[in-house]
Protein backbone atom coordinates (compact mmCIF):
# COMPACT_ATOMS: atom_id res chain seq x y z
CA UNK A 1 0.00 0.00 0.00
CA UNK A 2 1.12 3.50 -0.78
CA UNK A 3 1.94 4.73 2.69
CA UNK A 4 4.35 1.95 3.49
CA UNK A 5 6.82 3.70 1.23
CA UNK A 6 7.12 6.69 3.53
CA UNK A 7 10.80 6.51 4.37
CA UNK A 8 11.22 4.43 7.48
CA UNK A 9 14.62 2.86 7.50
CA UNK A 10 15.15 -0.29 5.56
CA UNK A 11 11.48 -1.14 5.81
CA UNK A 12 10.93 1.44 3.11
CA UNK A 13 12.75 -0.71 0.60
CA UNK A 14 9.93 -0.57 -1.86
CA UNK A 15 9.47 -3.00 -4.68
CA UNK A 16 7.43 -1.79 -7.57
CA UNK A 17 4.17 -3.66 -7.64
CA UNK A 18 1.03 -4.01 -9.68
CA UNK A 19 -2.12 -2.18 -8.80
CA UNK A 20 -3.53 -5.26 -7.11
CA UNK A 21 -0.65 -5.34 -4.65
CA UNK A 22 -0.95 -1.64 -3.96
CA UNK A 23 -4.64 -1.74 -3.20
CA UNK A 24 -4.78 -4.11 -0.27
CA UNK A 25 -4.84 -2.75 3.27
CA UNK A 26 -2.64 -4.67 5.65
CA UNK A 27 -3.49 -4.18 9.29
CA UNK A 28 -1.48 -5.54 12.12
CA UNK A 29 -2.77 -6.09 15.62
CA UNK A 30 0.43 -4.62 17.00
CA UNK A 31 -0.26 -1.18 15.57
CA UNK A 32 -0.61 1.76 17.89
CA UNK A 33 -3.10 4.55 17.38
CA UNK A 34 -2.92 8.16 18.48
CA UNK A 35 -5.83 9.61 20.48
CA UNK A 36 -6.89 11.34 17.25
CA UNK A 37 -7.37 8.12 15.29
CA UNK A 38 -11.18 8.39 15.24
CA UNK A 39 -10.96 12.03 14.09
CA UNK A 40 -8.73 10.99 11.19
CA UNK A 41 -11.12 8.29 10.08
CA UNK A 42 -14.07 10.67 10.41
CA UNK A 43 -12.26 13.28 8.30
CA UNK A 44 -11.64 10.73 5.54
CA UNK A 45 -7.99 10.13 6.39
CA UNK A 46 -6.35 7.26 4.55
CA UNK A 47 -4.75 5.23 7.29
CA UNK A 48 -1.39 3.56 6.75
CA UNK A 49 1.32 2.04 8.91
CA UNK A 50 4.12 4.36 9.92
CA UNK A 51 6.77 3.42 12.47
CA UNK A 52 4.35 1.00 14.13
CA UNK A 53 1.52 3.52 14.19
CA UNK A 54 -1.70 3.69 12.22
CA UNK A 55 -1.51 7.21 10.85
CA UNK A 56 -3.26 9.17 8.11
CA UNK A 57 -1.00 9.47 5.06
CA UNK A 58 -3.46 11.91 3.50
CA UNK A 59 -7.03 13.24 3.66
CA UNK A 60 -7.83 14.79 0.28
CA UNK A 61 -4.47 14.30 -1.45
CA UNK A 62 -0.81 14.74 -0.68
CA UNK A 63 -0.26 17.41 -3.35
CA UNK A 64 -3.18 19.50 -2.14
CA UNK A 65 -2.11 19.16 1.48
CA UNK A 66 1.50 20.01 0.62
CA UNK A 67 0.20 23.14 -1.10
CA UNK A 68 -1.82 24.03 1.99
CA UNK A 69 1.35 23.88 4.10
CA UNK A 70 3.33 25.99 1.63
CA UNK A 71 0.61 28.53 0.82
CA UNK A 72 -1.88 28.55 3.71
CA UNK A 73 -1.78 26.46 6.87
CA UNK A 74 -1.86 22.74 7.57
CA UNK A 75 -2.34 20.81 10.79
CA UNK A 76 -0.61 17.47 11.39
CA UNK A 77 -1.27 14.99 14.15
CA UNK A 78 2.16 14.34 15.63
CA UNK A 79 0.87 12.60 18.75
CA UNK A 80 2.88 9.53 17.86
CA UNK A 81 6.07 11.43 18.70
CA UNK A 82 7.55 11.00 22.16
CA UNK A 83 7.63 13.44 25.07
CA UNK A 84 10.30 13.07 27.73
CA UNK A 85 10.58 15.28 30.79
CA UNK A 86 13.91 15.78 32.51
CA UNK A 87 14.38 17.73 35.70
CA UNK A 88 16.69 18.18 38.64
CA UNK A 89 19.74 20.15 39.69
CA UNK A 90 21.97 18.02 37.43
CA UNK A 91 19.56 17.90 34.48
CA UNK A 92 21.52 20.35 32.31
CA UNK A 93 24.88 18.71 32.89
CA UNK A 94 23.44 15.24 32.33
CA UNK A 95 21.76 16.17 29.04
CA UNK A 96 25.01 17.77 27.93
CA UNK A 97 26.74 14.39 28.31
CA UNK A 98 24.14 12.67 26.09
CA UNK A 99 23.39 15.26 23.41
CA UNK A 100 25.56 16.93 20.79
CA UNK A 101 24.25 20.49 21.09
CA UNK A 102 25.00 22.75 24.05
CA UNK A 103 22.17 22.53 26.57
CA UNK A 104 23.85 24.76 29.16
CA UNK A 105 23.80 27.65 26.67
CA UNK A 106 20.10 27.20 25.87
CA UNK A 107 18.10 30.03 27.50
CA UNK A 108 14.91 29.24 29.39
CA UNK A 109 11.95 29.34 26.99
CA UNK A 110 14.07 28.39 23.98
CA UNK A 111 14.24 25.25 21.86
CA UNK A 112 17.25 23.54 20.32
CA UNK A 113 17.70 20.82 17.71
CA UNK A 114 20.09 18.15 18.94
CA UNK A 115 21.27 14.60 18.41
CA UNK A 116 21.81 11.66 20.70
CA UNK A 117 24.72 9.46 19.63
CA UNK A 118 25.95 5.98 20.36
CA UNK A 119 29.55 5.25 21.42
CA UNK A 120 30.56 5.06 17.73
CA UNK A 121 29.29 8.58 17.08
CA UNK A 122 26.31 7.21 15.11
CA UNK A 123 22.89 8.77 15.48
CA UNK A 124 20.44 7.10 17.85
CA UNK A 125 17.90 9.87 17.35
CA UNK A 126 17.48 13.50 16.47
CA UNK A 127 15.26 15.51 18.77
CA UNK A 128 14.26 18.94 20.04
CA UNK A 129 15.21 20.06 23.55
CA UNK A 130 12.87 22.64 25.07
CA UNK A 131 14.12 24.43 28.19
CA UNK A 132 11.05 25.00 30.36
CA UNK A 133 12.93 26.29 33.41
CA UNK A 134 16.50 26.46 34.64
CA UNK A 135 16.43 22.81 35.67
CA UNK A 136 13.45 21.45 33.67
CA UNK A 137 13.39 20.22 30.08
CA UNK A 138 10.97 18.75 27.58
CA UNK A 139 12.41 16.55 24.82
CA UNK A 140 10.41 15.62 21.73
CA UNK A 141 11.73 12.50 20.02
CA UNK A 142 10.82 10.38 17.01
CA UNK A 143 7.92 7.95 17.36
CA UNK A 144 9.90 4.91 16.25
CA UNK A 145 12.62 5.63 18.79
CA UNK A 146 10.64 6.30 22.00
CA UNK A 147 11.41 3.01 23.73
CA UNK A 148 15.02 2.79 22.57
CA UNK A 149 15.72 6.40 23.55
CA UNK A 150 14.11 5.99 26.96
CA UNK A 151 16.06 2.79 27.64
CA UNK A 152 19.31 4.45 26.56
CA UNK A 153 18.71 7.52 28.69
CA UNK A 154 17.67 5.50 31.75
CA UNK A 155 20.75 3.31 31.45
CA UNK A 156 22.92 6.43 31.39
CA UNK A 157 21.22 8.26 34.27
CA UNK A 158 23.60 10.00 36.63
CA UNK A 159 23.48 12.70 39.27
CA UNK A 160 20.36 14.30 40.70
CA UNK A 161 18.09 13.91 37.68
CA UNK A 162 14.53 12.76 37.19
CA UNK A 163 13.68 11.25 33.81
CA UNK A 164 10.09 10.60 32.76
CA UNK A 165 8.73 9.19 29.49
CA UNK A 166 5.25 10.74 29.27
CA UNK A 167 4.66 10.03 25.59
CA UNK A 168 1.30 8.37 26.13
CA UNK A 169 -0.04 11.27 28.19
CA UNK A 170 0.21 13.76 25.33
CA UNK A 171 -1.29 14.50 21.99
CA UNK A 172 0.52 16.94 19.74
CA UNK A 173 -0.37 19.01 16.71
CA UNK A 174 2.02 20.68 14.27
CA UNK A 175 0.34 23.74 12.74
CA UNK A 176 2.47 24.93 9.84
CA UNK A 177 2.27 27.38 6.97
CA UNK A 178 2.36 31.08 6.10
CA UNK A 179 -1.10 31.56 7.69
CA UNK A 180 -0.15 29.81 10.94
CA UNK A 181 0.01 33.11 12.85
CA UNK A 182 -3.65 33.81 11.97
CA UNK A 183 -4.64 30.34 13.09
CA UNK A 184 -2.71 30.86 16.32
CA UNK A 185 -4.53 34.14 17.02
CA UNK A 186 -7.92 32.55 16.46
CA UNK A 187 -7.08 29.76 18.89
CA UNK A 188 -5.27 31.69 21.60
CA UNK A 189 -6.63 35.24 21.11
CA UNK A 190 -3.17 36.77 21.07
CA UNK A 191 -0.33 37.04 18.56
CA UNK A 192 1.86 34.03 17.85
CA UNK A 193 5.32 34.45 19.42
CA UNK A 194 7.34 36.28 16.79
CA UNK A 195 10.56 34.37 17.31
CA UNK A 196 11.23 30.85 16.08
CA UNK A 197 12.34 28.11 18.46
CA UNK A 198 10.56 29.38 21.54
CA UNK A 199 8.49 27.36 24.00
CA UNK A 200 5.76 28.40 26.42
CA UNK A 201 4.31 26.34 29.20
CA UNK A 202 0.59 27.09 29.02
CA UNK A 203 -0.29 24.75 31.85
CA UNK A 204 2.69 23.16 33.60
CA UNK A 205 2.86 19.44 32.90
CA UNK A 206 -0.21 19.58 30.63
CA UNK A 207 -0.05 22.02 27.78
CA UNK A 208 2.73 23.65 25.75
CA UNK A 209 3.18 25.67 22.60
CA UNK A 210 6.44 26.01 20.69
CA UNK A 211 7.38 27.83 17.52
CA UNK A 212 9.11 24.80 16.06
CA UNK A 213 8.33 22.58 13.08
CA UNK A 214 9.59 20.31 10.32
CA UNK A 215 8.34 22.04 7.17
CA UNK A 216 10.44 25.19 6.78
CA UNK A 217 7.31 27.30 7.22
CA UNK A 218 6.17 29.56 10.02
CA UNK A 219 4.12 27.75 12.55
CA UNK A 220 3.88 26.17 15.94
CA UNK A 221 3.52 22.89 17.70
CA UNK A 222 0.87 22.40 20.37
CA UNK A 223 0.99 19.77 23.07
CA UNK A 224 -2.17 18.94 24.98
CA UNK A 225 -3.24 16.10 27.29
CA UNK A 226 -4.28 13.07 25.21
CA UNK A 227 -7.82 13.35 26.57
CA UNK A 228 -8.14 16.86 25.10
CA UNK A 229 -6.76 16.02 21.67
CA UNK A 230 -10.05 15.97 19.73
CA UNK A 231 -10.93 19.40 21.07
CA UNK A 232 -7.54 20.82 20.06
CA UNK A 233 -7.71 19.19 16.61
CA UNK A 234 -11.18 20.55 15.92
CA UNK A 235 -10.23 23.97 17.27
CA UNK A 236 -7.31 24.08 14.81
CA UNK A 237 -9.58 23.05 11.93
CA UNK A 238 -12.17 25.66 12.92
CA UNK A 239 -9.39 28.28 13.01
CA UNK A 240 -8.63 27.57 9.36
CA UNK A 241 -5.92 24.88 9.37
CA UNK A 242 -6.26 22.15 6.71
CA UNK A 243 -5.93 18.57 7.94
CA UNK A 244 -2.71 17.13 6.55
CA UNK A 245 -1.39 13.59 6.60
CA UNK A 246 2.14 12.30 6.92
CA UNK A 247 2.62 12.42 3.15
CA UNK A 248 2.50 16.19 3.20
CA UNK A 249 4.93 16.20 6.12
CA UNK A 250 7.54 14.20 4.25
CA UNK A 251 7.70 16.31 1.08
CA UNK A 252 8.12 19.72 2.80
CA UNK A 253 10.81 18.37 5.11
CA UNK A 254 12.72 16.88 2.17
CA UNK A 255 12.40 20.14 0.21
CA UNK A 256 14.12 21.78 3.18
CA UNK A 257 16.80 19.09 3.29
CA UNK A 258 15.81 18.15 6.84
CA UNK A 259 16.91 14.61 7.66
CA UNK A 260 14.51 11.85 8.71
CA UNK A 261 15.87 9.40 11.25
CA UNK A 262 15.80 5.83 9.98
CA UNK A 263 16.21 7.10 6.42
CA UNK A 264 18.83 9.85 6.31
CA UNK A 265 20.20 9.27 9.80
CA UNK A 266 21.37 5.97 11.18
CA UNK A 267 23.46 4.44 13.96
CA UNK A 268 26.18 3.92 11.33
CA UNK A 269 26.46 7.59 10.33
CA UNK A 270 27.67 10.51 12.43
CA UNK A 271 26.02 13.94 12.48
CA UNK A 272 29.12 15.35 10.76
CA UNK A 273 28.57 12.94 7.87
CA UNK A 274 24.92 13.99 7.85
CA UNK A 275 25.93 17.65 7.51
CA UNK A 276 24.61 18.52 10.97
CA UNK A 277 27.86 19.89 12.40
CA UNK A 278 26.05 23.11 13.28
CA UNK A 279 24.18 21.17 15.98
CA UNK A 280 27.31 19.58 17.43
CA UNK A 281 29.32 21.49 20.02
CA UNK A 282 32.73 19.85 20.02
CA UNK A 283 33.90 22.45 22.57
CA UNK A 284 31.89 20.65 25.22
CA UNK A 285 34.35 18.59 27.22
CA UNK A 286 32.39 15.38 27.00
CA UNK A 287 29.40 13.77 25.33
CA UNK A 288 28.80 10.29 24.00
CA UNK A 289 30.38 9.90 20.58
CA UNK A 290 32.57 13.00 20.86
CA UNK A 291 35.89 11.15 20.41
CA UNK A 292 34.81 9.71 17.08
CA UNK A 293 33.60 13.09 15.87
CA UNK A 294 36.92 14.70 16.82
CA UNK A 295 38.77 12.00 14.89
CA UNK A 296 36.53 12.55 11.87
CA UNK A 297 37.02 16.28 12.08
CA UNK A 298 40.80 15.85 12.10
CA UNK A 299 40.75 13.67 8.99
CA UNK A 300 38.35 13.34 6.06
CA UNK A 301 34.73 12.40 6.45
CA UNK A 302 34.12 8.96 4.92
CA UNK A 303 30.77 10.12 3.48
CA UNK A 304 28.70 13.23 3.27
CA UNK A 305 24.93 13.45 3.03
CA UNK A 306 24.33 15.35 -0.20
CA UNK A 307 21.29 17.06 -1.69
CA UNK A 308 20.66 15.81 -5.22
CA UNK A 309 18.56 17.61 -7.79
CA UNK A 310 17.37 15.52 -10.74
CA UNK A 311 17.88 17.39 -14.02
CA UNK A 312 16.07 15.08 -16.44
CA UNK A 313 12.36 14.58 -16.52
CA UNK A 314 12.19 11.37 -14.54
CA UNK A 315 9.86 9.24 -12.46
CA UNK A 316 9.88 10.14 -8.77
CA UNK A 317 13.15 9.20 -7.08
CA UNK A 318 12.50 7.17 -3.94
CA UNK A 319 14.69 5.86 -1.11
CA UNK A 320 17.23 3.13 -1.96
CA UNK A 321 17.64 4.06 -5.62
CA UNK A 322 21.21 3.68 -6.89
CA UNK A 323 23.41 6.74 -7.42
CA UNK A 324 26.12 6.58 -10.10
CA UNK A 325 29.20 8.70 -10.74
CA UNK A 326 31.12 8.24 -14.01
CA UNK A 327 29.05 5.16 -14.76
CA UNK A 328 29.85 3.42 -11.47
CA UNK A 329 27.36 2.83 -8.65
CA UNK A 330 28.69 4.71 -5.62
CA UNK A 331 25.73 5.01 -3.27
CA UNK A 332 21.98 4.90 -2.92
CA UNK A 333 19.39 7.50 -2.04
CA UNK A 334 18.23 7.74 1.56
CA UNK A 335 15.19 9.90 0.77
CA UNK A 336 13.65 11.03 -2.50
CA UNK A 337 10.54 12.56 -4.01
CA UNK A 338 9.19 14.51 -6.89
CA UNK A 339 9.15 17.91 -5.20
CA UNK A 340 5.58 19.26 -5.32
CA UNK A 341 6.79 22.86 -4.86
CA UNK A 342 9.64 22.71 -7.37
CA UNK A 343 8.33 20.22 -9.93
CA UNK A 344 11.54 18.21 -10.20
CA UNK A 345 13.05 15.23 -8.47
CA UNK A 346 14.98 15.73 -5.24
CA UNK A 347 16.86 13.23 -3.11
CA UNK A 348 19.54 12.79 -0.52
CA UNK A 349 22.39 10.29 -0.51
CA UNK A 350 25.65 9.67 1.33
CA UNK A 351 28.49 10.13 -1.13
CA UNK A 352 32.23 9.65 -0.72
CA UNK A 353 34.21 12.90 -0.32
CA UNK A 354 35.54 12.78 -3.89
CA UNK A 355 31.98 13.14 -5.21
CA UNK A 356 30.30 15.30 -2.60
CA UNK A 357 31.00 18.83 -3.83
CA UNK A 358 28.24 21.18 -4.94
CA UNK A 359 27.97 20.93 -8.74
CA UNK A 360 29.11 17.30 -8.89
CA UNK A 361 27.25 15.51 -11.65
CA UNK A 362 25.71 12.18 -10.73
CA UNK A 363 23.06 9.86 -12.13
CA UNK A 364 20.14 8.32 -10.30
CA UNK A 365 18.80 4.98 -11.47
CA UNK A 366 15.06 4.53 -11.68
CA UNK A 367 13.87 1.15 -13.01
CA UNK A 368 17.07 0.29 -14.88
CA UNK A 369 17.37 3.72 -16.46
CA UNK A 370 19.70 6.45 -15.32
CA UNK A 371 18.75 10.09 -15.12
CA UNK A 372 21.09 13.06 -14.90
CA UNK A 373 21.30 14.83 -11.55
CA UNK A 374 23.57 17.26 -9.72
CA UNK A 375 24.58 17.93 -6.13
CA UNK A 376 23.13 21.20 -4.91
CA UNK A 377 23.17 23.29 -1.77
CA UNK A 378 20.50 22.72 0.85
CA UNK A 379 17.69 23.67 1.14
CA UNK A 380 16.18 22.65 -2.17
CA UNK A 381 13.26 24.98 -1.54
CA UNK A 382 13.54 28.60 -0.50
CA UNK A 383 10.54 30.23 1.02
CA UNK A 384 8.96 32.89 -1.18
CA UNK A 385 9.59 36.37 0.26
Partner 1 sequence: MNIPENLRYAASHEWILVEGDTGTVGITDHAQAELTDIVFAEPPAIGKTVKAGEVAAVVESVKAASDIYSPVTGEVIERNEAIEADPALLNTDPFGQGWIYKIRLSDPAELAALNDAAGYRAQIGG
- Contact residues toward partner 1 (CB under 8 A) are 1-3, 5-6, 14, 16-20, 22-23, 46, 57-58, 61-64, 247, 251, 315-316, 318, 337-338, 340, 367
Residue 350 three-state SS:
strand
Q: State how far Cα 233 lies from the chain centre.
A: 21
Query: Whole-number minimum distance, CB 316 to partner 1, in Å?
Result: 5
Of 102 and 251, CB closest to partner 1: 251
Of 35 and 340, CB closest to partner 1: 340
Q: 50, 34 in Cβ contact below 8 A?
A: no
Query: Whole-number minimum distance, CB 263 to partner 1, in Å?
Result: 14
Of 57 and 306, CB closest to partner 1: 57
- Taking the C-alpha atoms of residue 312 and residue 174, their distance in angstroms, rounded to an integer, is 34
H or E stretch including 225? strand 219-225
Instruction: Report residue 210: phi and psi, to 5°.
Output: -145, 140
Of 64 and 207, CB closest to partner 1: 64
Query: Whole-number minimum distance, CB 309 to partner 1, in Å?
Result: 17
Of 245 and 271, CB closest to partner 1: 245
Looking at the DSSP bridge assignments, the partners of residue 219 are: 176
Instruction: Report residue 283: phi and psi, to 5°.
Output: -75, -20
Instruction: Report residue 181: phi and psi, to 5°.
Output: -65, -35
Query: Whole-number minimum distance, CB 1 to partner 1, in Å?
Result: 8
Query: Whole-number minimum distance, CB 50 to partner 1, in Å?
Result: 11
Give the number of other CB atoms < 10 A from CB of residue 230: 16
Query: Whole-number minimum distance, CB 262 to partner 1, in Å?
Result: 16
Q: 132, 138 in Cβ contact below 8 A?
A: yes
- Taking the C-alpha atoms of residue 155 and residue 119, their distance in angstroms, rounded to an integer, is 13
Q: 374, 361 in Cβ contact below 8 A?
A: yes
Of 6 and 232, CB closest to partner 1: 6
Amino acid sequence: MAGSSIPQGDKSKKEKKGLRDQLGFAHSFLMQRTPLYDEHVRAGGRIVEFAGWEMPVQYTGILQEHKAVREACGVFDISHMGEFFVKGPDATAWLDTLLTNNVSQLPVGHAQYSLMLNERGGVIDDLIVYRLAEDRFLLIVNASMIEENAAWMRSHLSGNVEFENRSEAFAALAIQGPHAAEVFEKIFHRPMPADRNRVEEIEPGRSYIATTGYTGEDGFEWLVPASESANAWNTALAAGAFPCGLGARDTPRLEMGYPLNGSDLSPERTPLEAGLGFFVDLKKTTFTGRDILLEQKASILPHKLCAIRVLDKAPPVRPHYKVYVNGEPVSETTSGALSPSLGYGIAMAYLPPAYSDIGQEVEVEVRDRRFRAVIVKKPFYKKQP
